[in-house]
Structure formats: C-alpha cells, structure tokens
Structure 1
C-alpha cells in the first residue's frame, strides 16, 4: 500500500491520542522514528499491525475492527490535503452515483499511483432503501477499513446516515482473491425517483432485431426510421453482442477485420476474451450486474482462438497456426467500455473502444502498455482509419505521436529523480539510526526519547530508593603513561572495550568513563530488584577478564574495584553536551570503596555485603575497619568469588 494511507493514520492518531501514543505504536510494530512517505510502498499487513498495537496501547475498549474502521474514516478526512475531495464531489449528485462509479475512480487513480493494487466494487441491486455492494480484493481483513471509508463519505459528502450489513459470501474461484457482499442501508429514494423520471422522459421505445439483421425503433410519440444493424456496427467498430449463453452473435466492423472469416461469431465469449476488470467469474449473471461499471476485456490473438480448434485441422495447418501464434502473443487487444442489456434482443452489447488507444499517448507509458506510437499501433493490427470519427481516439493518437518522445524524456527524468529521492530517504534513515545508536550510548533510551518529545532536562531527574554503584580504576596506568603515552591509550581502550562487552551481558548501565575510572550502575535508569547481584557478577567478570589479559599478553595492568548500595538521584542536567549523571552520598561512598581497594581486589561496603548475604553463591571475606575519607571508620568486606549452588542428587 502507498504511504498516504499510513500518513492519514499517523495524523489522526497524533491528533486524537497524542504524539506519545503514536510513537509507542510505531515502536511496537518495529517502525520507530519512521516518517511515512506518500508515494512509498509499504507492506499491506502494516496497517493491521498498527491496529493491533492501538488496541493494546489505547485503553478505550476498542477492537482491531474498530480501529480499522477508524483508519478508514481517517483516510477520507485526510485526502482533502491533496484536493481529492473535489474529485469525490463531482462523482455524482447522490451517494448511489458515487457507489456506482467507485470502480472507475480507482481506474483513474492508477495514473497518479501506477503500482496501486485497487479492489473491485460494483452494485448489483438498487432500491429506495439502499444497494447491494460487491467487493473483491487481494487483501484479506480490509472490510472494516472499507466500511469506515463508506461511513465517512456518506456523512461528509452526502449528509446521510449509513448502516452496513455483511452478507454471506458467494463462491469465487480466483486464487489469492477475496469476495464480500454488503447490504448498504441508506435513504436512496431521491436517486430512484430521479432515475425513474429520467427513464420516462428519454424512453423512445424498444429496439428489435429482425431475422434479416435490421433494427427497428418504435418511438412512444413519433416513429423513427429503421436503422440497419450494419450501420450500428460501423458506428461502434469494436462492439461485441452475445446471448445469455455467452455465445457471440455479432461483432463490430473492425473486430471482423481483425478476426476474418467470422471467426468470432458463434464462439463462446470466455473462449475469445478474458475480463480484466472487475475481476469476477465469466457468467451471464455477473456480466448483467456490471451495466454501470467501466469494464475491461482482453481479446485473445486470432491464432490463439484458432488454435483451440487445431484438432480439426490438418497437421501442416496446425503447425502454421502454432508458429503464427508465438509471434502474435503480444498482440492482444484491450477493450474498455460499458455493457448494456437489450431486452428485445435478449442479448448484451459491449460498447467499447481499444484501451490502448484511449490511453495512448499521454498516459500509456505510465501503465507500461507500450502502445505509444504509430509503429506500435501497426503491431497491434490497428490503423487510425479503424477508429470512430465521433470519438477522440484519432486526436489522442496523433497528439501522442507528436509529443511522445518529449513525454518519455520527462518520464525518464522523473523516474531518475524518484530513485535519487528514494536513495536520499534510505540514506537519511541510515544516518538517523546511527545518530540514535550514538545518542543511546550516552543517554538512556527512555530519557533520550523523553527529551526528544520536548521534556525539559530537569524534568528527567528521578529518585531511586536503592541502586548499586560500581567504580573500577586502572591502578597502574600512570606508570605506563610516563613511559609511553600511546601505549597507555591503547591499554585503556583494550580494557574499557572488554568492560563494555561484559556489561552488555548483564542488566547494568554504564554511566561514564572519567580518565582511568569506569563507572557502572545497577538498578537505574530501569529499576530492578537484582541490582546488587548484577553488579557483583560484573565486578567478578571485570577482575577475571583482566587476569586473563595479563596472563595471555605482555600487558601489565591492575585494577581496583569497589561498589556500594544506597539511594541516589539521576537525570540530565544542562543543555550543551548533556550527560546522564547520578547524585547523592551513595556515589561518594562507592568511589571511596574503589580508592581504598587494592589491586586485583573487589572492595564492598557493609550495605552491599548484607544484601549479598541474602543471595546464594557469593563468597565474601571481612576486611575489617577502614578509615574512609569523609566517612570515618567503616566495616567493609572483600568479594572473593561466586560459587554456583550445588544441586543434591535425589537418593
């Protein structure tokens, strides 16, 4: 689907539920910080995911179907930004007129959205209380979305209340397609009255066809001269006439020229043509219900029609037909027009023109039909003289021949610019992800997102009742710096990179590195009850990894570790070079544990020791009374190791 549908969802969720709700919905569907683009193609299932996320995050008791209907209403309310509401207003005086022509609207929208996969809709029954609407689509689950659109259009453009009732589906054999039927209930009396009045004033009589092939018109007030059926077929040179059994009984002059020997006459319509739009089964009842819908049919090449009867031909003739069919495979005639049932004929007439001529030369290249010049017309077996004088086909072909090269050049430039724009968007997304990664490495994600939404930095400050703060220092880095500064930098980079890999495996947060000191916090900014255990395991991993580095290389480095448990306050302060900082006596005490520690040792406060004693596996040793600057004498301990609790085997 095109991004315009998702833009409408974004606009009205932000408007009615707030920016924070929309950002949470985007994050839950994996599109965090995404800006939807109007002409970009997105997965069809994305709108379903947005509806499911809205059900979870918007606590108003709505279901997925409720939000899909809301999304449909949002689209109708939103497309006025592009001026499409003017297009809807001129579709018809009545809501029934709009429903009748909605399939034609989708056909016209393909010019602006060439990759659009539009559904097919038509009306099979009309009465004073509503209509019966048929809906066919390749997408499953979009019925509530369509219902929301219909409700909004009926209310905004026609000022009528609408109720929709879904009816049991009829069988539909086409793969990857879904068919639905809806009874739309609304006040349709004005439309029916207007149609009855129009039929009464314009009716001239009935049309009869005689055995001689002549047409006689009997006027209600004044008789008209008889009209020959041959003249009718000349006026509409691509016309097809067929019976309720779908047997073709007559064809226009040009079709007879393209299919000589009355090849089409007497053939079943499904054997010589395929209905391209709307997509439905080729039956009389279905075709009868399409009298107000713009239809497209594809006429098969003459060789392919002839090939169906090759079993009755001589082998040499059959081979010639097959060889000619391979060359003519691309020469398929596309017809677009209207089906009309003539009761006195008891037949259906398809009044149409070639689709390729109708779209050539202004829009044809957008549809990739490639009938853009006179040479292509000749390849299709068509000439300008084949087109009706009363139509616009001749003018459009000649104009297309003169302007086609210019349009092709403009189209290629537009395609190139579109690709450049797409690459720019992709590059923008990539750099945005890099920026987010860098930002989240300095500030916690929850805090960074809060700042993005406009929160004042001071408002991000939060008090924590219990956290564990760890400091680790490279004890002898000054000695290395005195002899070789670059070696000291390389040593610090190796050690701190090793520490970064370790904390990624635990629920702790790296606050900062200041000089030769590395600071880690457990229990903040995301609170948890296992922060003492997490920090203790990190401290042991730091010590063990440094021992491995020293034993496996010539690097001689020692670390001092200390941590303490207590309360603190954290948040972002300042506007330039913002940092997520911790404040309180707990940080000072943890720093004293580190400075009074010994190389290769983990020094912990009595608070942390008491909490570790409640956990299994941690082995500690009393250090004794230590004089701590600013604290006086304190009882502290050494953290020695972590032993996995043994599991006794059942006797």
Structure 2
C-alpha cells in the first residue's frame, strides 16, 4: 500500500467515500477506471451482501485461483493505512463455479470492524428522506424521466421500458412481459450472470448491458470487435450499449436499470436511429457527444492500437534478440566466449592478455592446390572452404580454439584461453584427425589434396589485439616453433617437437624419431613423426 501510494493510487482510494464500507462497495468501479490504464488487467469482482454495525460480508469472485490470502492482506492494510481501522477477516465459504468455458473461484469473507459510524450515516439519510414527506409518483412518470430505463421484476421479466425505446425498437417485437435475457446481455461486471441476487448486491457498481432492440436474438458467434465496415455498421445499428446503475425499488419489488446509451460521436447517432433530443437532459450525454468525447468502445479502439504497438515492440525486441544472438555468434567466432564476455563488461583489451606456462600450438597447411586460371582459382577457394569448414567442426568436437587461417594455413591452440592439463594429447588427436578429414573432402577439380601438420608445446602469451577488427592472438617462441614444425613437415604427416613428445602419455600414440632437422632460426632440432597407435 505504501509503495503504490507513491504513484498516486492512494488518491483514488481516499476519494471513494468517507467510510471503509464505501470503499468496499466501490472496488469494482475502481478496477473499471484502472482498466483504461491497464487494458490487460484481470480484475476480480467484489460486492457486499450483509452490512451491520460489526462489519460486513464480502463476496470475492475471480477467474484466477491462489489469491485468497493475498486479498485478505490487502484488505487489512487498506483498512489500516487509509481508514485507520483494525479488521479481522475469516473465510466463511470457498467454492468453484463455472460460467460457460470459464472457471471462477468464489470466496465469502466475514470482515469484523467498527462500522457504527457508517450505519448511523445511512440511518440519517433515511431519516432525511422520511421527514421530507415526499409523495409517491407513478411509474409512468418515472419512466419518462429516464427515457432509456428498464424495469424488471423478481423473475427478470421486463415490465416497463423508457419512452425512447419506442423510437428505436423493432415495432413488430414487444419486450414487455418477456425475459430480459432475450433482449439484454450483461457486458459488465465481468464474470457474473444477470440474476436478481447479483443486481441487488451490486447496486453500487456500474453496469453495462447490450440491447439488441428487438431485431434478433443474440448471436454468440458474431464478431463483436469486427473491424470490417459492413459488419461494424450492422452491429452498431442492431445493438445498443447501455451504461448505468441497478436500483432496487421496494414499493413495487422491482429493479430499475437507470442508464444511458453509449454514443462515441455525433456521426453514430444516425446509425443508432437516435437524435440529440433523445439523450437525457439531466446527464452529460449530449455534451459528450457534441464535444466528441470517447467512451468505452472508443477507448477500446485506443487500447487495441496500444496493444498493437506493444506487439510490434515485442516483435522488435525479439528481432533485436535474434540479431544480438547473431552478433554474439560472430563475435565468439573471432574471440573466445570467456574473453568476449569480459570485454562486454568494459574490461580493456590489454587486460585480457595472459601468460600461459604450457600450451600446444598446431599449424596445418593444405598442399597440392595449384591455380593458374580463374576456374582453378575458384576450385581452390571452394576446396579450402570445404576443408577448413570440416576442421572447424573438428575444433568444436575436441573443444580446441581455432586461432586463425592465413592463406592455406590453419592455426589452432589448446590449453588457452581455457587451461587444460592434457592439452598436448588433445591436440595430437586433432592433428591425426585433420589428415583423415582432409583426404575425405571431395575436391571439385578431382585432384586429391593433402595436409602437412606441425605441432609444438611450450610457454605463450595470448590476448586481444586490434580495435576495429579485434582478434585473439598468440605470441612467443612456441608459436614460431610450431610454425617451423609445419613448414618442415611432409604431406600426410604430423611432425612434433621433443617438448610435445614429453607431454604425451606413454603408449597413447605411436611416435617415430625423425632425427635432427635443421629448423630456420632454431638450428638443429630433434623432432618426431606422430602416428595413430
């Protein structure tokens, strides 16, 4: 209650009446007003059935279950925060009911609180009316004062209607002494049926009823919110929306629906076979029509438009998420996910540089490709794309990081940026699989291609380099040595250094000494051929 009061909702509650009982009787009307601000709000229905000096009985009806305890807490805090009352609430009855395809929960609460002030107030109103000594008036005069009123008896038979119905009603169909349900359908309050008990209990609630004006019975399948002009005109011509209050008249044991038609604008009057003189003189109907004010149905159009905008916004958010996902996938293809996530949080690129004591670096070059003509060049590009794409799948399988491709050379690393102990063994398996994968690729030219692989393990530094097109790169002598292992290797073979051999588990692979090989910039190095065991 304190939180919502910061946004001005306390003003609405405080304005409902002087007493807590007044507030309870006006809850449905408050929800109706808030529905213009929150069109998708599923508000419950509440009404009082018994009122005495010690409290009242509140009936709570909702299409959603599980809110019983929440409602009790809200009522207690409303009474305390706004009306300075301490109340006690107990559940008298809890049941489930079905109205058509909808299921409702119905709870009867007993609210105990000091209600003498409200009862004295109501008694004083009755005393004022009693001392006035007004003479009774005829029902005919009463109906003429409210030209759109509908008078119903306990069996919900229409016993009288206002004078203006004779102007717009089907002359071949008389509604007097016939069931009200044949000509009137309850639109609001939601979730309740048109019964004598509900009309008696909800006299403080605004009712909206749709009248078919005696032209036909209600068609449940008709499109009430049809946007087609022809259908909309037919609906507007045959159906009239009435808004008002149910009032019990004890002298004749009947209920009168004191209402006025809802007209959106002056252009709709002719469609409804109405004129300004037909509208109530004592209401604001004329002023609202002339000023172009919009009632519920017009506001509903605005809500539909707002909902459409919300759906478009939601669709835009979905598209944004899709493009963000694609952007992330592209970024992760350039930079490891862990490093990219650090950069997205604002970490400077230089701080992503790390020193790794032991990593395995692999270089693989496609050999056997030649291009002298345009067609051969295109075939070579296609072949490289097929081979490198197969290598990419291999990297995902063994969770090895692809560093980059330069021309016909493919570079990969294991042990960074994710540190793993057996990086040399993993990379050795990758190297042997790369040879098999390359030989299995179908070449457009028909000439088989092969690869030569080199691998070395040791210390390296890795981090992001570049601003416009950043890349996660490796630096150090280990990278240079691995490159020399590849350039001095032979097609269809994997050459490894002594450092890599020492990291491989005994018996896991077959290794054959190549002897000392002259390596550019390194001198003579002892290297080994790696084979499957």
TM over 0.5: yes
Q: Does 1:203 align with 2:110?
A: no
Supply the distance in 1 between the matched residues of 2:86 and 2:525 (Cα, whole angstroms).
Answer: 82
- Name 1:496's counterpart in structure 2: 388
Corresponding residue for residue 37 of structure 1: none
How many residues align? The count is 507
| Deviation string, structure 1 residues 561-590 (Cα, Å, up to 9, x no partner) | 234566766544565543333456765564
After TM superposition, give the deviation of residue 276 of structure 1 in Å.
1.6
* Cα offset, 1:335, TM superposition: 1.7
- Do the aligned residues in 2 keep the contact of 1:593 with 1:605 (CA within 8 Å)? yes
Residues 637 and 244 from structure 1, CA distance in 2 versus in 1: closer, same or farther, beyond 3 angstroms?
Answer: farther
Correspondent of 1:331 among 238, 242, 246: 238
3-state DSSP class of the match of 1:267?
coil
Comparing both structures, which one devotes a greater share of its residues to helix?
1
The 3 A distance-change label for structure 1 pair 418 and 569 is: same
CA distance in 2, matches of 1:467, 1:588: 13
What is residue 272 of structure 2 aligned with on the other side? 380
Tell me the SS of whatever aligns to 1:245: coil
CA 1:266–1:625 in structure 2 vs 1: closer, same or farther (change >3 Å)? farther
Q: Which has the higher contact order (CA 8 A, sep 6+)?
A: 2
Unaligned runs of 5+ in 2: 220-232
Q: Which position in structure 2 is the counterpart of 1:288? A: 200
Q: Do structure 1's residue 442 and structure 2's residue 334 form an aligned pair?
A: yes
Between the aligned partners of 2:328 and 2:81, the Cα distance in structure 1 is 42
Q: Does 2:193 match 1:268? A: no
Instruction: Label 1:399 to 1:502 Cα distance change in 2 as closer, same or farther (>3 A).
Output: same
Deviations 1:457-483 (A, max 9, x none): 455556778765432223567x75999
Could you give the per-residue CA deviations for residues 543-575 of structure 1, whole angstroms, max 9, x where no partner exists? 233223476634565422234566766544565
Residues 73 and 151 of structure 1 are in contact (CA less than 8 Å); yes or no, is this contact kept in structure 2? no
Q: How far did 1:180 drift? A: 5.2
Query: What is the TM-score with the length of structure 2 in the denominator?
Result: 0.73
User: Are 1:349 and 2:249 counterparts?
Assistant: no
Single out whichever of 270-279 and 452-461 deviates more from structure 2: 452-461
Of the three residues 93, 96, 99, the one matched with 1:170 is 96
Deviation at 1:136, TM superposition (A): 2.5
SS in 1 for 2:410: strand
User: What whole-Å deviation, never above 9, does each CA across 1:476-512 have from its counterpart, x for those lacking one?
Assistant: 67x7599999556665445434433544555333222
- Secondary structure of residue in 1 paired with 2:532: strand
| CA RMSD between the two structures | 5.2
Instruction: Please tell me whether residue 298 in structure 1 is matched to residue 207 in structure 2.
Output: no
**Corresponding residue SS for 1:132:** strand
CA offset digits 1:28-55 (Å, max 9, x no partner): xxxxxxxxxxxxxxxxxxxxxxxxxxxx
8 Å CA contact 1:606, 1:637 repeated in 2: no
The question of whether the paired residues in 1 share the 8 Å contact of 2:435 and 2:450 is answered with no
Higher strand content, 1 or 2: 2
8 Å contact 1:626–1:636 — kept in the other structure? no
Q: Taking structure 1 as reference, are residues 291 and 464 closer, same or farther at Cα in structure 2, changes over 3 Å only?
A: farther
TM-score under structure 1 length normalisation: 0.61
Q: Return the offset for 1:392.
A: 1.4
Change (3 A) 1:306 1:149: closer
Structure 1 match to 2:227: none
Give me the whole-angstrom Cα distance separating, in 1, the residues matched to 2:327 and 2:146.
Answer: 64
Could you say if the C-alpha distance between residues 415 and 580 of structure 1 is closer, same or farther in structure 2, counting changes exceeding 3 Å? same
Contact 2:360/2:457 (8 A) holds in 1: yes
Structure 1 residue 599, shift from structure 2 partner = 1.9
Aligned 1:371-410 pairs, distance under 5 A: 373-374=266-267, 376-400=268-292
Contact 2:60–2:106 (CA<8 Å) still a contact in 1? Answer: yes
Q: Which runs of 5+ in 1 are unaligned?
A: 1-71, 206-218, 308-325, 362-372, 642-651
Offset at residue 377 of structure 1 (A) = 3.0
Give the conservation status (yes or no) of the 8 Å contact 2:48–2:57.
yes
Match of 1:104 in 2: 29
Q: 1:134 aligns with which of 55, 60, 71?
A: 60
Q: Deviations over 1:282-338 (max 9, x none)?
A: 33333333223222222234133599xxxxxxxxxxxxxxxxxx9779612222222
| Structure-2 separation of matches of 1:425 and 1:150 | 38
Does the aligned pair in 1 maintain the 2:29–2:205 contact within 8 Å? yes
